[in-house]
Each structure stands twice: as structure tokens, then as C-alpha cells.
Structure 1
């Protein structure tokens, strides 16, 4: 629950039961948002692992025979001159001592590999312990598209869900019996899938075309994932164009929800105008970091 609460300032929305159920659904599909952004997560610390590595500090004090009164008391009461790494937990031990011993067993591999020692600068720390336990995972080649300084947080969050292919389109809801049909909420002609909404739907194509004309760049109307990975020009140009695509994903999905739940939808020109205005504000805010060549381009 604490991890869900941390998302509130991140995406700029308050989380009620509906939103928490959405995040739980994302987690159930194998998407771990408590992971590094480049690993496909949201850059949020895993509370369970963090608690373990915090307790690991106590286990490290015992290992390194730190000069603490508590360590001396533990050695006198529990360990009694036994080897700490091979220490066996007594049958009737207190709750907190069982937890410390469990964490000690978790870190035994690191102790044996001598990842930490008593030498200065190589001692155990919570940061090092977290790095040892966290899920290393695979680096996602799209993380630079989703998370960059030009994208608004709400745009990046929606693009993150898009890259994980976890949007609740009507083709999925229809199979679950949640809706009566699977036709697109916007055009009403074809089956509503992610590929249709963002690649094939005439509404999305019109929005992207108008936005591209507004910023003077030819944007793709299909295969956004492959296009976003192409690195052409400077870093700022790459990030700005990806930020524009993130904004298109966010606003097209928002119009889809308006069409479904409120039976209303804005014209493509109005949506495109909103996207261009948002990008102009972001450009003004980030212009100081641009090179002279990029400033002319911008």
C-alpha cells in the first residue's frame, strides 16, 4: 500500500480504490513498477526489500563485531561465541531475533563472496544491500522514450503503460464480459485494440498529422515503438520528439475514455492544439539547457 501511495505525487492524481485496483492489475500482469525506470519500472523503491536491507545493517554489525552495547549483549545472550555465519536459530526465539537471522541467511552469499569487508570504504550499507537484493531485470530499450526531461509526468506514465501493452482496450474487456461489444469507441468501425487506436484509427492519424505540422516535423502514424527508438540528431531533438509522441498517446487515450464514458469527443484539431501548447511550455522551460544549434531548431 505504501508503494501505491508514493505514486500520487509522481503522476499527479489521487489514488482511490479504483486506481489502486488498476495498479494491482498492472502488478498481476508481471509489470513491476517498484524497479528502476530503465528496467521497466517507475523508479520506486521496493519497501519489502528496503526493510530487509535495513535489518541487514544489524546483521552486519554482528558480523563485523561493531563496538555497540547491543552487539555485545546479543553475543552474550544468543550467539555465545559461536560462528555467526553458521549460527542456528533456537526453537524458542523472539520474533525480532528470528527476523534478523532470516536476513543474515539472505546475505550469507554476499558475506561468503566478500562483497563487503571491514576495510574502510567497503563496509555494508543499505544502498549496497538494496543493490544486491533488487531484481536486476532486463534493460528496456524504450525507457529513454518514456522518461525524459521534456515529457510531462502524466504523459510519461501513460506511455509507460502503453509500452507494457497493458491498456484496457475493449477487445480485452469484451473477452472478460465487461462490455457488450469490442468496436472502437472513437471511430466505431473496427475492433478496438492498442494497434488500432494508436496506429490505424483515422482520429489518431489526424491528431499526429496536425501536431507534426504544428511543430514542423513529420511524425509517424504507425509503428510508434520502432520509430521512438531511432536516434537521429541531438539528444534534445530525440527527447522532444518522443515527448510529443508521449503527449499524443496520453491525449488520444483520454479522448477514447471521454468517448466511452461521457459520450463526447473533441475534434482532432483541438486535441492537437492542446498538445502543441503543452510542448511550447516545455520548450520554454528547458530552453536554457539547449545548444545554440538546438535553440535555432527549436
Structure 2
């Protein structure tokens, strides 16, 4: 659960993002609009050489038309892996008080995306 939901249920007292310490943490902020996440997505777009909007990135990924179905599947798997790794960073930041560099997060994405494709049914 993101902090906005934990606050709503009275589990925590504040909902400030653990990564940027500036905004309320909700799923959109955490995964897309947090400065850390935005840097990760910028590196991701550069790495895959694709032009996609940061607002509505998941909707874009599902609607994106590509000549190769394999390329689309790889990009979607990589997007899912990046979201997963941003979530891991958030948890590490909360528990261990460590924030890796965005380039380090992106370096973990290819292996995770490959595993996702291997076990996909």
C-alpha cells in the first residue's frame, strides 16, 4: 500500500514520499511524478529509444502500435520491470534509508524483464 492509503486507514501519521521527501506519496507520484521515478523513466526512454509520454505511460504501452509483436512484448515487460524496481527502491528507502542512483535501477530492468518473459504463460 502507498502512504496515502495507509494514512487513510490510520496506520501511519504522515504520507510524505520517502524518496523525495517533498510530496504526498500515492501510486501516481511514486511510480511516475516523483523526481526519482521521472529520472528512471527518462533513462528508460533513452535506453529503448522510444518516445512515450510520462503521463499515462501504462495506457500508452497498451495502445502502442509496433510492427513487431515481440518488440512490444519486450517493451511492456521492461515497463513492468521498471515499475517493480521503483517499488523496491521505495521499500529500501523506507527500511534501509538507501536510494540507489536511477541508472542503477535501470541496470536491473533487463534481467527482470527476461525472467518475466520466460515465465509468462
TM range (shorter): 0.7 to 0.9
2:40 maps to 1:207: yes
Equivalence for 1:191: 24
Q: Where do residues 111-260 of structure 1 align in structure 2 (5 Å cutoff)?
A: 168-233=1-66, 234-260=68-94
TM-score (norm 1): 0.36
Whole-angstrom CA distance in 1 between matches of 2:6 and 2:86: 19
| Whole-angstrom distance in 2 between the partners of 1:215 and 1:199 | 17
- The structure with more helix, counted as a fraction of residues: 2
CA distance in 2, matches of 1:225, 1:269: 21
Deviations 1:56-101 (A, max 9, x none): xxxxxxxxxxxxxxxxxxxxxxxxxxxxxxxxxxxxxxxxxxxxxx
TM-score, normalised to structure 2, is: 0.83
Higher relative contact order (CA 8 A, sep 6+): 2
Asked if structure 2 preserves the Cα contact closer than 8 Å seen for 1:171 and 1:192, the reply is: yes
Mapped to 1, the partners of 2:36 and 2:87 lie a distance apart of 11
Structure 1 position 214, deviation (Å): 2.0
Paired residues for 1:274-285 under 5 Å: 274-275=108-109, 277-278=110-111, 282=114
Q: Secondary structure at the match of 1:229?
A: helix
Give the root-mean-square deviation of aligned CA atoms: 2.2
- Residue 194 of structure 1 and its aligned partner are, at CA, apart by 0.7
Listed as ranges, the matches of 1:29-178 within 5 Å are 168-178=1-11
Runs of 4+ in 1 over 6 A off after TM superposition: none
Change (3 A) 1:240 1:248: same
CA distance in 2, matches of 1:218, 1:202: 19
Q: Residue deviations 1:121-174, cap 9 Å, x none?
A: xxxxxxxxxxxxxxxxxxxxxxxxxxxxxxxxxxxxxxxxxxxxxxx0001111
